Amino acid sequence: MRFSANLGFLWNDRPLPDAIHAAKAAGFDAVECHWPYDIPAEDVRAALDATGLPMLGLNTSRGDVAGGENGLAALPGRTDDARAAIDQAIAYAGIVDAGAIHVMCGFANGPKAHATFIENLRYVCAATTRRILIEPLNRHDAPGYFLQTTDQARAIVAEVNAPNLKLMFDCYHVGRTEGDILTRITDLGDLIGHIQFASVPDRGAPDHGELDYTTIFAALKDWPHPLGAEYKPVGDTDATLGWMQRYRYR
């Protein structure tokens, strides 16, 4: 198995370039991040070049976090802001050569939100050849988030009908709301562009909880990309990495 360190959670007490070096030292095969925009992209690219790690992906801006926003792309009346965030992500991804951009839709509902999200996804899919990802967030952690299920995501991918639009399948989020992880992965097939994982229900390391990652990782042994470790470590990140050696060579 190959693994990617999500630096939104892992080593997030360090500047992003330092976290990239920590991921390399720990044996990760790639990195990904959430919102790197406070760090000059050239500094991140230098750390990636120094370590040889690829940047698998980054997120579009959440918007006004203090005001409760968690993405912009499905918010009616906020198209200019959403597209500014998309353009920002495309530019940053170009410098760091990020493989994918996760477009965050935000808290919204109803037909206008759906139409807004579709049009913004068509905009970003036409603006870049990079993989574009959408991710359902579970209703416990993100109540009111527009995209909540893999079936909803599947329908949106079909409606947009762009070859670079894919689903980000987070085992944690799907496990919290839908369950039956392996059946869902098989059913969604080529729609999946990236897979992330964490324990359920506490979003910790994958060595405990309701999901059996021995079985899940065995089923994903032929997945061609690194799997994204997007979990919240308790204490020092390095002290939580025993799972990686346990699963890497299975």
Catalytic residues: 135, 230
d(CA 203, CA 200): 6
Domains detected in the chain: 54-248 (3.20.20.150)
64: CB partners within 8 A, 6+ apart: none
d(CA 204, CA 230): 9
Q: What are phi and psi of 196, to 5 degrees?
A: -120, 165
Please report the pLDDT score of residue 248 as a whole number. Answer: 76
Segment 89-113, tens digit of pLDDT:
999 999 999 999 999 999 999 999 9
Segment 18-38, tens digit of pLDDT:
999 999 999 999 999 999 999
The predicted model gives 220-249 an average pLDDT of 93
d(CA 217, CA 182): 10
Please report the pLDDT score of residue 246 as a whole number. Answer: 84
pLDDT band at 249 (very low <50, low <70, confident <90, very high): low
Candidates 53, 122, 132; CA nearest to 89 is 132
Tell me if the pTM is above 0.75. Answer: yes
Task: Fill in the amino acid letter for 105.
Answer: C
